Structure 1
Amino acid sequence: MTTHPLALSVADAYLGLVDAAVPGFVEALYLVGSAAMGDFRPPLSDVDFVVVSPGRPGAGDTAALAKVHAGLALDREIPALDGIYLTWDDLQAGPLAIPDGPCVKQGRFLSSGCHNRHPLTWSVLGASAVTVRGPLCAGTGLWRGPAYLERWALGRIDERRSSLLETDPGSDEEQPATEVIERTVLGMCRLHYIFSTRVVPSKSDAGLYGLITFQREWHRIIDEALRIRREPKVASLYTTPAERRRDALAFARHVADDAYALGFGRCG
């Protein structure tokens, strides 16, 4: 699978800066997310990454890393970096053992946080990570936990289900941007796919799964989300943003209820 050249160029720019600022700190750099799955779509996609270092950054290293990421974030022509910093022990221990640590969210470096420290990241590392620097993940003793991935997906679905129940689909509040529609619809398809199969798909593949899995009445909003992701310059399938918002919320609720019922059936 070919990695998008823009994602690779951002990774190279990052390595050039970080190697100068904190020599020897980045021993491995892996691309995950859409860049690793052949579904990188500028400007929607961030460059998702995992860095592995010999140890946790000290105060001086933390300041230097924050400066590196702040500098990259100033360049509006490139996608934002989004990811986590781990040690080799962290990589093997898995997300349940290291719930917090250095991370980058939408281009901003945080010295500690839970962002992306979940089974999905480890699953993508094991299945499709692009190695920019360091050994292949298969030889690192990488933690694997498909059962935890399933539980994580159901937990995320349940969280979204609870929030969606509090959202009025007929509200006159400001309509969400197109990327919010794309994330909501394809994100729910993706979580349902993960819960059903214990496999992490790309967002585009998740949308195709949604077209196969869910009734025809939902195909219009799924096709709209896929259009936003893959052909943003093509005209919308909806006449008004309000109608699109109502369908997106209704679909997300349906997917959540379906997955919740499937989970209840497994427990039963």
Structure 2
Amino acid sequence: MRTAALRRGASPTRVPEAPRTNPGTCSPRSSEQLHEPVETMITHPLALGVADAHLAAVDTAVPDFVEALYLVGSAAMGDFRPSLSDVDFVAVTQARPGNGELVALAEAHARLALERPTPALDGIYLTWDDLRDGPVGIPDGPCVQRGRFFASGCHDRHPLTWSVLGTSAVTVRGPLCAGTGLWRGAAHLERWALAGVDECRGRWLGTDTADEATLLAADGVERAVLGMCRLHYILATRVVPSKSDAGLYGLITFPPEWHRVIDEALRIRREPAAACLYETPGERRRDALAFVRAVADDARASGTDGGGPPPG
């Protein structure tokens, strides 16, 4: 994807890439691969501890139900920050849970949330068929948001999750999930990202100022600025980066006038104890809003057709 207003004809000399896993298969097998060594070199031990606790709780509540567990998100990309990150997961089962299993899962997650409130679990339960079919057209199903279990929802059933499964997932249990059996849809990912740009524009720049006020807080600036860098990266490369890599991409892609707000977002994520780069939260908020607007305008001006709402 070409960039319009922001790039001014420049080409980045380097595009950071998310860590990749070795290719494997995406079908169940009897043996388990627990904390596969190549993958876990980049995985924060706190995230792995939460994953182990998750498996122990679910195995006790519904024995032999979860056949595979993958970490995705920051824990899979070497960018896990205990003060900011959730532990994002995809759990894979042979069949969809019945009512009794849903009740048992809800109770297990409620206990986990009490025993280990932070970092919170955030993820979805899928079947092997769901992994192969992809996010387009599969039904809603069990999910966990910020530690809270829902029997049915569309949370994280989108192309980004499948893309990360194919490139960066950390296998906690089950086979590697980067093989040909896993659904892949780069065009769907691009449309999803462009729809995400429009959603962020509406959230941060809309008539309701509630979310604009959130940008007075440091974590709001980190989410908005690095989130827009990440969506722009996906549109440019059809690859999902970590948030930190997205910020580095922003520094080599966008003009110097945006570097301070990007550096500030990276500081919040990576070195929160370091000194703020702004005199006041209001000044920082102003730059963050201007950056969101500029990136959103650039994405739309680049000639990519969003094609309506995000698939899946």
Structure 2 length as normaliser, TM-score?
Answer: 0.81
Alpha-carbon distance between aligned partners in 2 of 1:266 and 1:117, rounded to the nearest angstrom: 18
Contact 2:191 2:305 in 1 (8 A): no
Give the equivalent residue in structure 1 for 2:113.
73
User: Residues of 1 paired with 2:272 and 2:203: CA distance?
Assistant: 28
Residues of 1 paired with 2:298 and 2:170: CA distance?
A: 33
C-alpha distance after superposition, 1:141-198 (max 9, x if no partner): 11000111111101111222233342588x9957542111101100000000001100
Partner residue of 2:80? Answer: 40
How far, CA to CA, are the matches of 2:79 and 2:244 in structure 1?
7
The equivalent residue for 1:119 is 159
- Counterparts of residues 13-162 of structure 1 (less than 5 Å): 13-75=53-115, 78-139=118-179, 141-162=181-202
8 Å Cα contact 2:109-2:149 kept in structure 1: yes
Distance 1:175 1:184, change over 3 A: closer
**How many residues matched?**
266
Equivalent residue of 1:45, what SS? coil
Structure 1: segments with no counterpart, 5+ residues = none
* 2:204 and 2:212 in contact (8 A); partners too: no
Q: C-alpha separation between the residues in 2 aligned to 1:148 and 1:265?
A: 11
Relative contact order: is structure 1 or structure 2 higher (C-alpha 8 Å, sep ≥ 6)?
Answer: 2
Amino acid aligned to 1:216: P
- Which residue type is aligned with residue 100 of structure 2? G
Pick the aligned partner of 2:278 from 234, 238, 250: 238
SS at match of 2:152: strand
Q: Which moved more, 1:256-265 or 1:111-120?
A: 256-265
The answer to whether the Cα contact below 8 Å between 1:99 and 1:117 also exists between their aligned partners in 2 is no
Q: CA deviation at 1:241?
A: 1.0
Matched residue SS, 1:187:
helix
CA distance in 2, matches of 1:38, 1:179: 19
Other-structure match for 1:2: 42
| 2:260 counterpart of 1:216 | no
C-alpha distance in 2 between matches for 1:192 and 1:85: 28
3-state DSSP class of the match of 1:244?
Answer: helix
Counterpart residue number, 1:257 = 297
Relative to 1, partners in 2 of residues 1:34 and 1:266: Cα closer, same or farther, differing over 3 Å? closer
TM-score, scaled relative to structure 1: 0.93
Deviation digits for residues 37-86 of structure 1, max 9, x if unmatched?
Answer: 00001110100000001111111111111111111212356310000000
Higher helix share: 1
Determine the C-alpha separation between the residues in 2 that align with 1:73 and 1:263: 45
Counterparts in 2 of 1:50 and 1:205: CA distance versus 1, 3 Å: same
SS in 1 for 2:240: coil
- Aligned sequence identity (%): 73
2:71 is paired with a residue of what secondary structure? strand
- 1:199 matched to 2:239? The reply is yes
Match of 1:229 in 2: 269
